[in-house]
A and B are shown apart, each in its own frame.
Chain A
Amino acid sequence: MTKAAAKSVEGEDGGTWRFPANQALRLESGAKLSPLEIAYKTYGALNAEKSNAVLVCHALTGDQHAASTHPLTGKPGWWDRFIGPGKPLDTDRYFVISTNVVGGCMGSTGPASVDPKTGAPYGLAFPVVTIGDMVRAQAMLIEAMGIDSLFAVIGGSMGGMQVLQWAADYPERIFSAICIAAAPRHSAQNIAFHEVGRQAIMADPDWRGGAYEAAGVRPEKGLAVARMAAHITYLSEAALQRKFGRELQRDGLSWGFDADFQVESYLRHQGTSFVDRFDANSYLYITRALDYFDLAAQHDGVLAQAFQPARKVRFCVLSFSSDWLYPTPESREIVRALNAAGVRASFAEIETDKGHDAFFLDEPQLDATLKGFFSSTAQARGLK
């Protein structure tokens, strides 16, 4: 068995899974990635039947620290409010697994990892990865953990796209799927915003064609601008207006280009704090993976065809009314394809003015909805 060859290092509740050379990750581009390392965290305990595992998929700039203190920022995990004992994703009941995507920068193999061919960081020699590749790597990890079937796979934004890909590629390995604030493909507008971010990084003289690490520098300014532009798309006009309006940082205008407005100061802070925890090349690769995502295109242009094999999967699709990054019609398109494929699917649009990022935030309707979905699905699975 090849399973035994993959090894986890560090503690029980997380670490890095190392796949040896005979278990390379086959990439959609045709390239192979080896050695492969997947960084992960787990919360809760796997039951004897191994039937209570939930895979949490993170968004563009997330990582495996979904419900544990982030080692670089010292802040709570990105979905700490949602995952834990007695929380909607209840770790007293479920075994939660969260991985860092391939191409990421928190321990999984990515552009900052060492290229075995050169002994130096990959940089732009790292192969382009896709959402499908991320999911294939997760499937390898789940298999290595000895879990045949996940109780649920859940994620928002890019995490939601991974959920869709799971349903299309590994339907027999998932009992239920929850896709939040996502889309079946990246739109022209989505690609356009990402291109702004990438160009900002590549325009930074410290980017050095991607080989910044060898030069001992980091393209911090470019990455910060990329984050600032992207962050606007995660909020809504109403939320920005409510939070900042035209409020000033100090009394009066500076009659210059300081951060006069609170919203400017907020965005600058978002940019500068982001560079402390994220790698610029990873940002290029992961945004590319998102731009390449088009689930229907992988199935003769028919989205419903992607879901045909997933007829036994219990689906829940959620969108936010003020999300303009992946607006509700895109979630509806997913639901219609699920209906057309005869998949048991639920869909709700959560009323909120908080925009795309609402899934991180306190949304009682989101919690109530998912609590209901989890408890009925657990009953159908026969979980105690």
Chain B
Amino acid sequence: MTAVREDFAEILRLVTPGARVLDVGCEDGELLELLTRERGVDGQGLELSPENVAACLAKGLAVVQGDGDRDLDYFPTRAFDYAVLSKTLQQMREPRHVLSELLRIADRAIVSVPNFGHWRMRVSLMTRGRMPETRALPDPWWQTPNIHLCTLKDFTDLCRDLDLKIDACAALSSGKPARPFHPDGILENWRAETALFVLSQA
């Protein structure tokens, strides 16, 4: 078996077998295929790019070509056990709305976000005085799809504001297995390159 992305490995560990899963921004369906094969989930994807949609359908996945910003509103309430949003919340026009929609549609949301408070970001901004370009966020400012970047603290604040419960969280950095941490840990806002959260309604 080829190496599984560390966030996918962690999601695979978290999702219960046979669950109904909506993957928002499912790309070419790699995660949904993995979840279907390994966990027997009943999966559904939402994806914007036509090439990716075709790739998903060719894999036999149920996928709707659409936009996470616009099309979540049309899914029925509590239709899924999990809604997954991998590293795309920061690309949404209305992250706050998307987050509350995820938890209307599903009992649990699994959301991963790059942490703009990571030390590499801070050092890069401090020393270069320019928008950071790191391995987690490699694009120049004028090309990046990431229009709503946040730090780990910002994200947990928003969760609190939306009355969302953080059931679990783990730090991710490429090549290493996920490392669980406490969301209020002071150091994590420096240490976690990307963080993955399991959220539910409080």
- Seen from chain A, the residues whose Cβ lies within 8 Å of a Cβ on chain B are 314, 316, 332, 335-336, 339-342, 344-351, 365, 368-369, 371-373, 375-377, 379
Contacts and interface: CB of A to CB of B under 8 A. Distances in A.
Interface residues of B, number: 21
Interface stretch (B63-71, B88-96, B123-131): B63-71
B65 A376 contact: no
B53 interface: yes
**5 shortest interchain CB distances as A-B pairs:** A376-B60, A372-B58, A336-B74, A372-B57, A348-B53
A346 B57 CA distance: 8
Contacts of B64: 335, 339, 345-347
A344 B44 contact: yes
Given A336-B74, A339-B74, A347 B66 contact: yes
A348 B74 contact: no
A30 B50 CA distance: 44
Nearest to A365: B54
Interface of B: 42, 44, 50, 53-54, 56-66, 71, 74-76, 79
Given A336-B74, A368-B54, A369-B54, A347 B59 contact: no
Contacts of A379: 60
B75 A339 contact: yes
B57 A348 contact: yes
A319 to B, nearest CB: 9
A375 B60 contact: yes
A379 to B, nearest CB: 7
Contact of B59 (A332, A340, A341, A372): A372
Contact of A368 (B58, B61, B75): B58
Contact of A342 (B56, B65, B71, B79): B79
16 contacts: A335-B66, A336-B71, A344-B44, A344-B62, A346-B61, A346-B63, A347-B65, A348-B50, A348-B53, A348-B54, A348-B63, A348-B65, A349-B50, A371-B58, A372-B57, A372-B58
B53 A345 contact: no
A330 B103 CA distance: 28
A346 B50 CA distance: 12
A57 to B, nearest CB: 21
Nearest to A335: B64
A372 B66 CA distance: 19
